[in-house]
Structure 1
Amino acid sequence: MGSSDSASAAERLRLDGVLVQHFRESGLAGPRWNQFHRQLLGRGLTIVTKLVRSGAMFSRCGQQGRYLHRQEISPQEAEELASDAVYDGYVYFRDRGLLGREWSVGHGLPLEEYFVNACVLAFPNVYRRWQTHAHGWHDVRLVDSVASLEHVVTEATPEDAVIEQAAANAAFATLSEDGKRLLFLHDQGYSHAEIGELMRLTPRAVEGRIRRARLAVRRRPEEER
């Protein structure tokens, strides 16, 4: 970055700092705030929609340590996901960045970039909600949970694979709702600690219940043979 670019970035941060100070003093109210946040949402939606459509959003999430399995997303669904991510990101930006004083000039990140980052952080939960709504518990592929399905697919016939998958789905259907939820969340990349927070369990209890649920799914097809 040249000296002119550095000076421009510094000036941008200074102006952002002046704006934020004004917004905090006004309690995020008034015509200036209304104009700013409308422009921010509009600009953010454009950027986030492009990130989702191009697949770059998944790379950005991976850089944040939140790895997601990318599925095919229609243009309309991409717009809906982007809209939800912008809304959730805005709540983070407003409550933590501005009112919570997480953002500052010393942070070194312009407001718009900070806002887009907030949308990226919000995207994994938005994406998982979309997966749950779009596919439901019974349509989720349970990685490492179906009984020897990979072995059947690679070494047996397609018909055997279909039968094995049906048996695994039937076994999954017999699990308790908690068991289904545990396997689903684990398959979607949630850590034991994150699942524990969602279900009010200790990470150790989560680990044990996931192990028992997997065993139940594996044993059912074997018992019916």
Structure 2
Amino acid sequence: MQGDVAGERSASAPARDLQPPAPVGKSDFTVPVSEDDLRRVDAQYEQEARQLQANVDRRLRDRQLVQALAQHGFRGLEYDHFVEELVRYGVSVLRAWMHSGCIFGFVADRGFGLSPHELELEELASDSDLREDLAMMTVARALPPFRQRALVEGRWTYEGGASITTYFMGACLYVFPNEFRRHRASSERQRRLLLRQQAIYEDPVDPFSTADEVVSRQYVLAKLRAIKDERTQAAVALTLDGYTQEEIKELLDATSTRAIEGSLYRWRIKEQRRGGEQVG
């Protein structure tokens, strides 16, 4: 040290210079502590103690559960019920994290710098279906390695300090970045596809075209522009161009043809409710 912090004096200063200038009076130690202060301190300690005990109790229950599941090789009805509850919990938590945007801070702490754009954050906050899709895919991909490492290999332990659900959410945070990157790449492909589709539908009208063809093209273009969801917009445009749902699934990087069917079905229902004529 170059000197004491308070006075910047040398460490070789006489010891008497570092002592209090005068004896401390008894009255300095007899300032009363109010009962309200004591109650607040006691309440804080009690709350912390309850939280610690609740964590211990939860981990004890988790250890008993894992031991019971291990007797059947982490298979069977009990394990299926365990997975069902874990999936429900994981999806709920991931949806909340995506809605608030805090999930990007959690994955950044683990070395995954996704650097979401403001528009991506707005999309996650406003699009419940997107949050559901990303959460379901993340949980589905996290489950197999979680089962193998945490349960079969016994990497989760009571002594580790985390509950089994907390441990699982940690596993999900290592999977989410890849799922979000897939969504980001898919969105970019859809954006480029829409640009191509718009170029097709917005080509200059052939002066020899009939009036009906012109009206039809303008009508279809108006319908496409009215669709706010880009994935649905692309699916409708491709359907009108004669692509099969299997081909659309590949082009849009959708999870299944049922997802494409669902998008088209919801769009048709909305059109019917608006009193519009169905297209395609």
Regarding TM over 0.5, the answer is yes
Give the C-alpha shift of residue 80 in structure 1.
1.0
Q: Distance in 2 between matches of 1:45 and 1:107?
A: 24
Q: Distance in 2 between matches of 1:76 and 1:12?
A: 32
Give the C-alpha shift of residue 65 in structure 1.
1.5
Specify the code of the residue in structure 2 equivalent to 1:32. E
Residue 95 of structure 1: aligned partner: 148
Q: Distance in 1 between matches of 2:160 and 2:71?
A: 20
Residue 115 of structure 2: aligned partner: 69
Specify the code of the residue in structure 1 equivalent to 2:185. T
Is 2:94 aligned against 1:48? yes
Is 2:49 aligned against 1:3? yes
Is 2:79 aligned against 1:26? no
SS of aligned partner of 1:68: coil
Of structures 1 and 2, the one scoring higher in RCO (CA 8 A, sep 6+) is 1
The structure 2 residue matched to 1:135, chosen from 188, 192, 210, is 188
Please state which structure has a larger fraction of its residues in helix: 1
SS of aligned partner of 1:78: helix
Specify the code of the residue in structure 2 equivalent to 1:12. R
Specify the code of the residue in structure 2 equivalent to 1:113. T
Residues 87-122 of structure 1: per-residue CA shift (max 9 Å, x gap): 112222212111121111111100111111111111
RMSD (Å), alpha carbons: 2.0
Residues 37-79 of structure 1: per-residue CA shift (max 9 Å, x gap): 1111011111111111221111111111211121423332222
**Pair member with larger Rg:** 2
Is 2:185 aligned against 1:106? no
Give the C-alpha shift of residue 124 in structure 1.
0.5
SS of aligned partner of 1:26: coil
Give the C-alpha shift of residue 137 in structure 1.
11
For residues 139-218 of structure 1, the aligned pairs below 5 Å read none
SS of aligned partner of 2:105: helix
Give the C-alpha shift of residue 82 in structure 1.
1.2
Q: TM-score, normalised by structure 1?
A: 0.57
Specify the code of the residue in structure 1 equivalent to 2:155. E
SS of aligned partner of 2:187: helix
Residues 170-196 of structure 1: per-residue CA shift (max 9 Å, x gap): xxxxxxxxxxxxxxxxxxxxxxxxxxx
Specify the code of the residue in structure 2 equivalent to 1:3. A
Specify the code of the residue in structure 2 equivalent to 1:136. R
Q: How many residues align?
A: 139
Give the C-alpha shift of residue 138 in structure 1.
9.5
SS of aligned partner of 1:2: helix
Q: Distance in 2 between matches of 1:50 and 1:7?
A: 26
Give the C-alpha shift of residue 23 in structure 1.
1.3
Q: TM-score, normalised by structure 2?
A: 0.46
Is 2:173 aligned against 1:120? yes
Q: Distance in 1 between matches of 2:172 and 2:101?
A: 15
Q: Distance in 2 between matches of 1:137 and 1:32?
A: 42
Specify the code of the residue in structure 1 equivalent to 2:180. Y
Where in structure 2 are there 5+ consecutive unaligned residues? 1-46, 193-280
Q: Distance in 2 between matches of 1:8 and 1:137?
A: 48
Q: Distance in 1 between matches of 2:99 and 2:78?
A: 32
Moved more, 130-139 or 62-71: 130-139
The structure 1 residue matched to 2:106, chosen from 60, 70, 79, is 60
The structure 1 residue matched to 2:84, chosen from 38, 49, 53, is 38
The alignment-based identity, stated in percent, is: 25
